Every structure is written in structure tokens, then in C-alpha cells.
Structure 1
Amino acid sequence: MDLKEIQNLIKFVANSGVAEVKLEMDDVKITIRTTLEGNVTEATYVQQLPAQNILPQAAAPQQIAPVAAAVPAAEPVEKNNYITIKSPIIGTFYRKPAPDKPMFVEVGKSIAKGDVLCVIEAMKLFNEIESEVSGKIVKILVDDMSPVEFDQPLFLVDPS
């Protein structure tokens, strides 16, 4: 089961009104708990079991914040003509490829489709996030080294 399938499962459970779902497959064990008030995902626990069937060490539950709370409420009028680039995964947002390297993008920089905008670390893997549009960076919505949620807005791009 890949990360995209897990994220879709979390969304589905949150929207279904179910309080808790447990899923066990060959190498994956997932428990998703939601509150019934507003169907906000409260906690998600994903545990990858080793292929050798060795008993894994318990991992700490990962807290998931409501996506609505993560979206900034500033400048709703300006966002109408801008494209929002969102996080495709849960992880830690980095604006640089390494601490001693320059930022991938800055406000005002023109970008092309396929340009790397940032890196998101998820489970010790660094995933380069590439632009799907061309334009100019108007606003960076996340601080460097901050945790990000799936589908959280990261950048505002002016496509003109």
C-alpha cells in the first residue's frame, strides 16, 4: 500500500462518519480514528511491518490536524486569480535542498512547469515537489522546516 492510497483512505474514513477503522494487510497495519463531531481526523497510526515477520517496535501515533485549520485565511480576494500549489504528502517542508544550499524559490521568482519548488521529508525520504504550472511565486504559505499535511497549500502562483 503506497502513501497515496493511505491518504485517500484517511479522507474516505473522515467523510464516512465512521468512528474507527482498522486495516491489516500482509506488511501494513493501519488504524484511523475520527471524531463524530465534524468528522475531523483525530489520530492516524501507520506501522510498516518488516518482511521477515520480526515483531516491530511500537511507533508513536501521528497526530493529524484538521485541514481547515491549516489553511491561512488571509487575502481571500487575491487568491481568486492565483493557482495554489498544495502538498501531495504529509511530512516536513524544506525550502532548501540542504542547509548550506540556497532556497529553491523566493517570492517574485518566475517558475516553469517541472521546476523544483521545495522538498518534503516523509518517513526519512526526501521528495522533491515540482511545479505543475508556469508563473511567478506570489506567496510562500509555509515556513521552512514546518510540518505539512496532505493537500495543505504551500505556494500561491500567478500564472500570467
Structure 2
Amino acid sequence: MENLDLATILNTFEQSSLSELEISCTAYTVKMKRGGSAAGFQPIPAQQEQAVTEAPPKQPKTDNVVVIKSPIVGTFYQTPSPDSPPYVEVGDTVEKGKVICTIEAMKMMNQLETDFPCEIVSVLAPQGELVEFGQPLFEVRRK
């Protein structure tokens, strides 16, 4: 990452309402947090990837079940507005291109649409909570 890129990211972070930001590259990790004490800059070395063995699932996975993950960091909303019903509920069958949630990032509302027809198996993210990039939001069954 070039110094100009880092300066742009820092400037954007300062102008945003985000309280934390973490960017990881192969060589290093940059963490920014608001409201902390003024400490000196300390680079954090990137963690070495280690093989992870997963525990066996508690229940057998069903065929055609896919996890839809967050494409961005932001606040997860299952409803278009506080007094509206959710976009989707468990058991709903949705067509390709249907909005299933909104993620607010940097004061922008980003609608997440399905890429294929599916049935909602479970909603994994809590309403109004911060979600990370790649965090599972929904389990769906392809139709």
C-alpha cells in the first residue's frame, strides 16, 4: 500500500462516523480506533496463517444450503425502516435479485440482493448490529 493510499484511508476514516477500522495486508495490519488515548503509532505484524481444524457440526448440513456473507463492514438492518416488516423471514422463498437486507456503511445504505432463487433457512446477524466483511448473515437453500 502506498503512503498516498494510507493517507486517503486515514482522511476518509477521520471524516466518517466509524469508531474502528482494521485493514490487513500480507505484510502488515493497520488498526484505527476513535476515542482512545494519543499513543504512538505501532505497526502490528501480520499474523501467520495457521491450519484450522473445524469441529464437527452439531447437526448435519442440508444439501444446497449456502451461507450469504456480508460484502462490507457496516450496520445490519433486516428492515427497510424501524416500523417496517423485515425484508425476509425464515421460511420465505425469494427470487433472484430480491433485497434481503440493508447494510449501512459510511452513511450509505447498501441493499444486499440474492444472486439466485432460494429459501431463507436462518438469519444469522442481529438487527442493528455491526457486521464485518465476510461475516455470515443468512443461511439459504438454493431452489
Q: What's the TM-score, normalizing by structure 2?
A: 0.64
Unaligned runs of 5+ in 1: 1-20, 46-58, 62-72
* Contact in 2 for aligned 1:22/1:32 (Cα 8 Å): no
Distance change >3 Å, CA 81–CA 75, structure 1 → 2: farther
- Match among 24, 31, 46 for residue 44 of structure 1: 31
| Residue 44 (structure 1) shift | 3.0
The residue aligned with 1:124 is 107
The residue aligned with 2:139 is 156
The residue aligned with 1:106 is 89
| Residue 40 (structure 1) shift | 9.9
Distance change >3 Å, CA 33–CA 85, structure 1 → 2: closer
The residue aligned with 1:60 is 34
The residue aligned with 1:28 is 8
Distance change >3 Å, CA 156–CA 75, structure 1 → 2: farther
Tell me how many residue pairs correspond in the alignment. 112
- Match among 118, 123, 140 for residue 135 of structure 1: 118
Aligned to 1:28, the other structure's residue is in SS state: helix
- How high is the sequence identity, in percent, across the aligned residues? 37
One-letter code of the match for 1:84?
Answer: V
Distance of 1:32 and 1:109 partners within structure 2: 35
Aligned to 1:121, the other structure's residue is in SS state: strand
Distance of 1:120 and 1:96 partners within structure 2: 10
Bigger RCO (CA 8 Å, 6+ sep)? 2
RMSD: 3.3
Larger radius of gyration: 2
Distance of 1:100 and 1:142 partners within structure 2: 19
Distance of 2:112 and 2:133 partners within structure 1: 13
The residue aligned with 2:44 is none
Unaligned runs of 5+ in 2: 11-20, 36-55
Distance of 1:100 and 1:33 partners within structure 2: 35
Distance of 1:135 and 1:32 partners within structure 2: 33
- 1:57-98: CA deviation from partner (whole Å, max 9, x where unpaired): xx728xxxxxxxxxxx96563266301111010000000010
Aligned to 1:29, the other structure's residue is in SS state: helix
